[in-house]
Chain A
Amino acid sequence: MNNAIIAQDPDIQRSLAPLQTKREEAKAYFEKHGYPHSKLEDWKYVPVHRIIAPAYENPAPDAGGSVDRDAFAAYPLTSLDAWYLVFVNGWFSAELSQVPSPEEGILIGALSDEQVLAQAAPYLGNVATLESGFVASNTMGFTDGAFIHTAAGKTLDKPVVVYHLTVAHDAPLKIRPRNLFVAESNSSFKVVEIFAGDASREALTNMVTELKAEQDAVVDYTKLQLETGSNFHVGYTEIEQHKNASVDTHIISLDGAFVRNNLHFRLMDKQCRSIMNGLYLLSGNQFLDNHTRVNHNSPECYSDQLYKGIINEQATAVFNGKIFVEKDAQKTNAYQRNINILLSDEATVNTKPQLEIFADDVRCTHGATSGHLDEEAVFYLRSRGLSEKDAKRMLLRAYSEEVIGKLQVEELIAPLMKIAAEKFKD
């Protein structure tokens, strides 16, 4: 951060004061608790020690300019019909980004810009609570990130892609981006976070995304994980919804050596609608842990959750979905489903769909299954002349499509189905 400039402008300095307090709180939290460990219920099954061991370096601000346009174009999904905010190793790259010309009521920018940071500061850290060392570490040391703010009644014409590129070849890197999306009342936007990169050394992405949807706002959020190599990812997506707000989330994890996703919803007022779609396709030694939590704090809200996974080779998948229905949250409808397919005897799945309910007039259900491909379905296809391989591939494709097909940024569907199909080539 360029302290010299901030010091010059008293207004900016004033608006940054609350952020400074948040950072100090986070520092105190981190010094007290440190990173979580697998003795904690929320981190059971997670080998955290594996990802915090390397001696990470923090990338310098000039990392933003280290990738040129041609190199960027080689990565997947870089030319969608959308606005782009591109971050390389956690720092903004103006060259690769493409943002709309300034318009009244719409702000899209990077937090490394002091003007943007000053506007974001009052919101930062209000949605994400300090509940683990990873959130604390991000809060005290985040480098850069995207800020989207739509004023009341505004709608963004195109989706915004927040592209996080990780390139680590010389030294292990710790990358800490922080995003903040605010939809004021009756406004709407679609945002897609893409994580991709190329890492021959360990790179830990420790990110926090905060999303606040005010009354009647409509937000669609997609997170695509396409990181390769030794990429570790610990992500928090914290969402707060107010009256009648609607938020759809799609978390699609196709790559990455180690992934832990936390998706938290807080429903603060009546009639919120929250949708969670998840898909994970794992192979090799991948480890993936999806934690979701929905706090139904208010009555008459609706949440629906569908997480599907295919686990191959020696990969491990963990799912933990929590639904809390508070005493006052009568007439809640909450649904949760987690479906897993294991393709190998060395694959592991640990799932824990959890309900905690304190209100009596509710309808909550959850289901979890784990199994293999339906043999009858495979037989049916084979009896019609498909090879066993083709039959299985077709079934897996259909299985993935149930989640990918729900994406609202439709341009993503075809390329993602292609990437998914690649995963089950043999």
Chain B
Amino acid sequence: MSEDLKVLEEITQSEYKYGFYTDIETEYAPPGLNEDIIRFISAKKGEPEFLLEWRLKAFRNWLKMEEPHWPNVTYPAIDYQKLSYYAAPKQMPKLNSLDEVDPELRATFDKLGISLDEQKRLTGVAVDAVFDSVSIATTFREKLKEAGVIFCSVSEAVKDHPELVKKYLGTVVPPTDNYFAALNSAVFSDGSFVYVPKGVRCPMELSTYFRINAENTGQFERTLIIAEEGAYVSYLEGCTAPMRDENQLHAAVVEIIALDDAEVKYSTVQNWYPGDKDGKGGIYNFVTKRGLCQGRNSKISWTQVETGSAITWKYPSVILKGDHSAGEFYSVAVTNNRQQADTGTKMIHLGKNTRSRIVSKGISAGFSNNSYRGLVKVGKNAHKSRNYTQCDSLLIGDKCGAHTFPYIEVKNQTAQIEHEATTSKIGEDQIFYCNQRGIGPEEAVSLIVNGYCREVLNHLPMEFAVEAQKLLAVSLEGSVG
């Protein structure tokens, strides 16, 4: 077992690869949160009156709300007045082409492996990069325009398509939904906006990259995806942050609306800075993600690979309102060192013949705690709805914890709900089998973990699947249970 311990030690000491900080002149809002700050953010972004009012209403609501403490995580109290709610790289003239982007910034994104123009040329993925809450550049806009797809930052959408924003913003996650959603509604700075018109299949995968750079800021993006009748879009999201000793707050909101026969596929590879091995620093990732299958036959699918963040607290959900609609949730959550994750999903079946499928794989190592918390709710009118849930946990070491909190609420007799969960460690016999065939213990674990997560990774788009596999390998390099 001494070798196992050594390998475990190695992972606990493996450094965070994206921990660099880019020295870019940044414009901050003074720290603190009040109505003036919200007015400042709104004015800075030249927003129309309705949005300012909407923000202020959310803020007034937020003041009346209490921070929730029911998740299975512990952290020191957050001082919301100490944070700065707006940080943007200075000099933000309207960019006409990528060449005008600050070279420092370009270099940062290159380091992150998303060289904007390379992506453009090689992969054909359209990227919207969000740096400290402000959208820097969106590639491939022209090509998307031809297809009729709108892919831009939310602030641009507010200016160019206010009628769409007004119609859909806050319809899936209302500003009063929860504490962090209310905070986000009040101070959100930017995010991505996607609109796919009727019958259009988005010609390429859309991608956003989030980066928190500045110190003492919170990042509050807001993503809004609308798929009209018969439309299809696949959307990817990736995130990193520099290494800092303080904890940083990330409270995003994602809303998806799928109309009749539309399909939206949302994939996340989340790799925020998880803090060092003693649990110092790291990102608090408190995110509200929800999709609404409004139309018949619509489908929303969430796929997530969660390896970063000191604390993850998110439940991508689907409201299955349209008849015959479908929701899917595939998740791999890896926690190591002192990371804490409380994640899962909610599937709300309202329409007839609605189907949902949940596959959640948790891996905990070190001193971490990993919780799955899910809700499957079947309403009175959701005849013949169907849910299948599988959540498995893998424990590596005896200092970590795995928790499962599945809530199942059924009000319809024709609904069929299945839930199963297992918790175990990597079998010694499995490792032995590999060793016997000349595969070293490290590779054996990686092989087994990859096999264990395969069901989820298979649902990621190709480019992301490769990245996710590498991430998994880094996070759990050689851990032998």
Contact = CB atoms under 8 A, between A and B. Distances in A.
Interface of A: 41, 327, 330, 340, 342-372
Contact of A354 (B405, B414, B417): B405
Interface string B384-427: 00000000010111111111111111111111111111111100
Given A366-B420, A368-B408, 4 more contacts: A350-B408, A359-B395, A365-B421, A370-B416
Nearest to A44: B407
Contact of B398 (A353, A360, A366, A371): A360
B481 interface: yes
A352 B375 CA distance: 9
B413 A364 contact: no
Contact of B425 (A351, A352, A356, A362): A362
B70 interface: yes
Given A370-B416, A371-B417, A356 B403 contact: yes
The 4 closest A-B pairs by CB, nearest first: A342-B413, A360-B395, A371-B416, A370-B417
A358 B400 contact: yes
Contacts of A369: 416-419
Given A342-B410, A364-B424, A352 B400 contact: no
Given A356-B403, A357-B395, A372 B413 contact: yes
Interface of B: 70, 380, 393, 395-425, 481
A367 B420 contact: yes
Given A342-B410, A357-B393, A362-B425, A41 B70 contact: yes
Given A352-B405, A362-B425, A368 B416 contact: no
Given A345-B380, A360-B481, A365 B422 contact: yes
Contact of B410 (A340, A356, A365, A367): A340
A370 to B, nearest CB: 4
B404 A355 contact: yes
Contacts of A353: 404, 406, 419, 421
A342 B406 CA distance: 19
Contacts of B398: 327, 330, 358-361
A330 B400 CA distance: 13
B427 to A, nearest CB: 10
A371 B415 contact: yes
12 contacts: A330-B398, A344-B413, A345-B413, A350-B410, A351-B407, A351-B408, A358-B398, A358-B401, A360-B398, A367-B419, A370-B416, A371-B415
B423 A327 contact: no
Contacts of B407: 350-352
Nearest to B72: A356
Contacts of A360: 395-398, 400, 425, 481
Give chain A's interface secondary structure class: strand
Contacts of B400: 358, 360
A364 B397 CA distance: 16
Contacts of A363: 422-424
Contacts of B408: 349-352, 368, 370
A356 B424 contact: no
Given A330-B398, A354-B406, A360-B425, A347 B413 contact: yes
A357 B405 contact: no
Contacts of B416: 369-372
B448 to A, nearest CB: 14
B402 A355 contact: yes
Identify the interface centre among A41, A327, A360: most chain B CB within 10 Å of its CB. A360
A366 B404 contact: yes
B420 to A, nearest CB: 4
Contact of A348 (B405, B410, B422, B423): B410
Nearest to B396: A360
Contacts of A345: 380, 411-414
Nearest to B398: A360
A348 B411 contact: yes
B437 to A, nearest CB: 24
A365 B420 contact: yes
A344 B412 CA distance: 7
A357 B400 CA distance: 8
A368 B410 contact: no
A242 to B, nearest CB: 24
B425 A355 contact: no
B393 A343 contact: no
Nearest to B389: A368
A367 B404 CA distance: 11
Contact of A364 (B399, B401, B406, B423): B423
Contacts of B420: 365-368
Contacts of B70: 41
A357 B417 CA distance: 24
A370 B385 CA distance: 11
Contact of A362 (B396, B397, B417, B424): B424
A368 B413 CA distance: 15
A356 B423 CA distance: 10
A355 B414 contact: no
Contacts of B423: 355, 357, 362-365
B410 A370 contact: yes
B413 to A, nearest CB: 4
A350 to B, nearest CB: 5
A133 to B, nearest CB: 21
Contact of A372 (B397, B414, B419): B414
Contact of A357 (B380, B403, B419): B403
A53 to B, nearest CB: 25
A46 to B, nearest CB: 14
Contacts of A361: 398, 425
Contacts of A359: 395, 398
